[in-house]
Chains A and B, each alone.
Chain A
Amino acid sequence: MYEVTPGRWYSDVSIREVLRYSGVRSFKDCDEKIISDAVRAAEQAGEASLPKSVSRECSLSVSGNVCVIDGLEIVSRSLAEHLAGCERALLFAATLGSGVDMLIGRYSAVRMSYAVLLQGAAAALIELYCDIECAALESRYLAEGCFLLPRFSPGYGDFPLECQQTLTGHLNAYKYAGIAVSDGGQMTPMKSVSAVIGLSREGKSRRGSCASGKCADCPNTGCLFRRV
């Protein structure tokens, strides 16, 4: 009942996630009209998207709280701990494209209640897209006996936000995916992600512990959108 059109890249989007990102904290207490609007928002955001990703396999060395990725030095204890034991890493960036930003902007001007649902849908879609792209990358690396660790993005723990520029620059993400970092250090289009993904030979068990619920590792325990 709560499904978007099958056969699209975004067909597997979870409407519960769309609602959660839109500030609906309890699915069962949610008005029927809002649920059907959320489905429509997911559909419309999916249609407006032009998702693109870019990735690159890099050399990696970790020493103390310093990670050196393809010669780029990143000082971050959280990242170093996350990548401990990995021999290589993937740099990864993805975006839904600027059409989604424009769509949210359109409804922000006339119907904020729907803009909030579109924004929630876009948040759910970029996660879904990253998962799809990473699953494809992982299937390639599994053949070599490597697992992909969960994506670790600038802003997690003490991994500096400024590193968004470093990662997207090294990936040439503007040229290949249209992802830029603004003067103020924010990614444009707004629904974009950059991340480091450790390549691990003992990945399976670590993946399980790291990925449990995705929110488990985040120190922002007061977050409105935290999964309980």
Chain B
Amino acid sequence: MKKITELLGKKILFFDGAMGTMLQNSGLKAGDLPELLNLSRPDLITSVHRQYYDAGCHIATVNTFGANRCKLKDSGCSPEQVITAAINCAKSAREQSENGGDKYIAMDMGPIGRLIEPMGDLSFDEAYDLFAEMAVCGEKAGADLILIETMGATYEVKAAVLAAKENTSLPVFVTCAFDASGKTFTGADCEAVAAMLEGLRVDAYGLNCGLGPDELYPVIQKFSEVSSLPLIFNPNAGLPRQKDGATYFDVDPDSFAGSMRKAAELGLSVMGGCCGTTPAHMSAMIGLCRDIPARAASDKGITMVSSYTHAVRIGEEPLIVGERINPTGKKRFKEALKNDEISYILGEGIAQQEAGAQILDVNVGMPGIDEPAMLVKAVTRLQGVTDLPLQIDTSDTDAMEQALRRYNGKPLINSVSGKEESMRAVFPLVRKYGGAVVGLALDESGIPPTAEGRVAVARRIIETAAAYGISRKDIIIDGLTLTVSAEPDSANVTLETLRRVKEELGVCTTLGVSNISFGLPKREVINAVFYTCALNAGLDCAIINPKSEAMMNAYYSYRALRGFDPACGEYISVYSAAADAPAQKPAASMSLKSAIISGLGEVSASIVRDKLTSGEVSDPMTLITEELIPALNEVGDGFEKGTVFLPQLLMSAEAAKASFEVLKDALAGSGSDEKNGKVILATVKDDIHDIGKNIVKVLLENYRFEVLDLGRDVPAETVLENALKYDIKAVGLSALMTTTVVRMEETIRLLRKEAPGVKIFVGGAVLTEEYAMQIGADAYCRDAMASVRYCQKIFNAES
């Protein structure tokens, strides 16, 4: 028998239909694990496979959908036992079937049933291990391929694909479950799924489950437009209906076959069925579709990068890659990296998204930090707060590999150069994990001084990539921006390179635009003009600061002028909104105190700035003692009395923070910037609800406490370890539910034993004063202000 991948594109291959439906029809009770029937009723499972083989199906999907260690934990059976038995059933059916065609066995891997961090609590590595165990068992027992199916979360798909590819030599097919809007349940659209799976180089992919063939037709059609790999379509037999307590599906075999024939015309490679489909459905479908000639998959040549929700197409319209997550030349950013202040990095990412970036560059390289660990942290945490695709920017290939592995989607990779050593290190990573890669037009001899030379290097990069199996669509050439004040012809060479790369090589382009103006005054002015010239010369991805007004003016204007903005709609909406918006400007009479009480962040900061620059205030401390602190006290008192509500309290806190940021530099060195004391905050183990803890953090920071935020789902040992390491006086713990208050009690017990001097204050929806005392806390804080008051009390008492 030929390897199944050799048949892809030569003829349509047919998967089987539902297993669960057949088992339920044979009396499987709800709540029973169907996989255990492989051991207890092999005759039944074998008979289902045999019916499908006899109906003409080429591939039997074995009964291992949920045969992972997590789901089997209370069954008394191991994945290996269940999987081996499952594959033996399919082997028996293959021998028994009188149908003479090709017959393959697919090891089936369904979702684990838990969401991976940050959406849920399962770690990526745990998910990987669960799938790896299944895949290895499947290959050992004799499967011909691995089918990863009914997936809704792209991160889980990635864990499963890597587990299958790294631990077996079997072909890997993947199908995801979509709804009628063309999204999986975590919000991924077709292009996001296609980009990631093609990047991971699976053998075939598509969709299954969810809905019937008619409802899913638009989704498979969309796939057929963007996909460069063989496509699979395994829909349900329509929609589930209930009658007399039993579930049935509403599309009969003939209707199913008719709908599948229509879908097959799109150029499918593999077809079958999911929930509700039976051997009769498969038989009817095969009868109608078997003579349709298969189409070999062809490279659509679309350059895409993706996040876990959507893909961004490169080369169709100008794109902005936000450049601000990068420590080069930024003192504050370096300080944040040194202090592991991840929230600062997240803030930079979010601000750039709000300013209009479509992709975010992430560079955290700095001497003295563990770059691989920091890059992974930055990438995974950013993916928890932004759905933009990321550009992983590092020259450390270890950091690059670790970040690529943990990235949820298909990233941009920055970068490879024309140096042999660089290509040898980077291309295998691109090949393995997927990604579009920035190719720098330089090599061992340095940066070629002419466009001719840079195009030659670019050509070599593209050719070498091809030898690694990386398509030219995934190469994005950076023609290199050099400083115009140092090299007068440099802008011309860069622009000429852009033009020729587009014309002669036909690949996408990128540039770090603002390098052009190093050493010049008013850099924004020249940056914006150079950016416009570059756009005109064929720049696709501009690595710029989207918070720069001049650059964004150029961007929106260029789009309007060159037909990327129909009827100038975007331009009008951006600039008429800006003209209408009342700018947050201080009224002449407004005091800092009233601006903070009103929660006006920009106004507060601007008042502080004016007072400092005009010399009206000589000692910045007076602003703090006479305006800022009284304002916070007034709002805090109002909150406690119930006249000020939580959102107002926080808006004032944010306004105060904005003022502190301005005052910070003025205070630096004066010794007045000292904090009140260091406090640990944590949401306890097993609890993932952290909004309450985050509110407390904002307020404590406002009252000049230094907060060590340990995050959510924090084990007792981690709290203790940090309390001891930083000699902490106060620990605040939060827990949402009765089930996690138990963890809170355990944490308190451990701290009492190992760090007896620490004061512990607690809060959370189900806690009461009495309950807090019962579990051994020092104080119950019913809200954020109560936490502030408690910390003030204990730190004042100490000082």
Contacts and interface: CB of A to CB of B under 8 A. Distances in A.
A112 B688 contact: no
A113 interface: yes
B115 A180 contact: yes
Interface centre among B29, B113, B183, B736 (most CB of A within 10 A): B113
B757 interface: no
A70 B691 contact: no
A19 to B, nearest CB: 8
Contacts of A162: 739
A97 B114 CA distance: 14
A91 to B, nearest CB: 10
B113 A110 contact: no
A142 interface: no
B343 A71 contact: no
A98 interface: yes
A119 B691 contact: yes
Contact of B648 (A31, A59, A70, A169): A31
B422 interface: no
Contact of B739 (A111, A170, A184, A223): A184
Contact of B740 (A34, A70, A184): A184
Contact of A178 (B186, B309, B599): B186
B647 A22 contact: yes
B183 A34 contact: no
A186 B242 CA distance: 29
A170 B31 contact: yes
B114 A182 contact: yes
Contact of B695 (A110, A111, A116, A161): A116
Contacts of A30: 645
B31 A112 contact: no
Interface in A53-104: 56-59, 70-72, 88, 97-99, 101-102, 104
Contacts of A33: 599, 651
B34 to A, nearest CB: 11
A72 B31 CA distance: 8
A115 B694 contact: yes
A117 interface: yes
Contact of A59 (B245, B385, B654, B690): B245
B647 A188 contact: no
A71 to B, nearest CB: 7
B120 A23 contact: no
Contacts of B694: 108, 112, 115
A57 B248 CA distance: 13
Contacts of A23: 645-647
Range of interface residues on A (Cβ < 8 Å): 35 or more
A189 interface: yes
B202 to A, nearest CB: 21
B688 A57 contact: no
Nearest to A183: B121
A186 B688 contact: yes
Contacts of B643: 29
A143 interface: no
Contact of B113 (A115, A180, A190): A180
Contacts of A124: none
B185 A97 contact: yes
Contacts of A223: 765
Nearest to B32: A71
B686 A183 contact: yes
A181 to B, nearest CB: 8
Interface stretch (B94-102, B346-354, B356-364): B346-354
Interface centre among B247, B386, B646 (most CB of A within 10 A): B646
B544 interface: no
B31 A99 contact: no
A197 to B, nearest CB: 14
A39 B183 CA distance: 26
Interface in B7-41: 29-31
A50 B689 CA distance: 20
A45 interface: no
B397 interface: no
Interface in B430-485: none
Contact of A105 (B351, B384, B645, B736): B384
Nearest to A119: B691
B79 interface: no
A188 B688 contact: yes
A170 B385 CA distance: 32
Contact of A109 (B110, B346, B739): B346
A185 interface: yes
A180 B599 contact: no
B118 interface: yes
Given A71-B29, A183-B121, A190 B689 contact: yes
B111 interface: yes
A138 interface: no
Nearest to A38: B647
21 contacts: A50-B181, A52-B179, A56-B247, A70-B31, A71-B29, A71-B31, A98-B187, A102-B385, A110-B351, A112-B653, A112-B694, A113-B651, A115-B694, A117-B647, A161-B739, A175-B152, A177-B185, A184-B713, A185-B686, A186-B736, A188-B115
Given A52-B185, A106-B386, A111-B654, 12 more contacts: A24-B647, A33-B651, A34-B647, A99-B187, A101-B119, A109-B347, A110-B346, A116-B647, A117-B647, A174-B152, A175-B152, A186-B689
The 10 A-B pairs of least Cβ separation, nearest first, read A184-B686, A178-B185, A23-B646, A113-B650, A182-B121, A188-B120, A106-B385, A24-B645, A98-B119, A109-B346
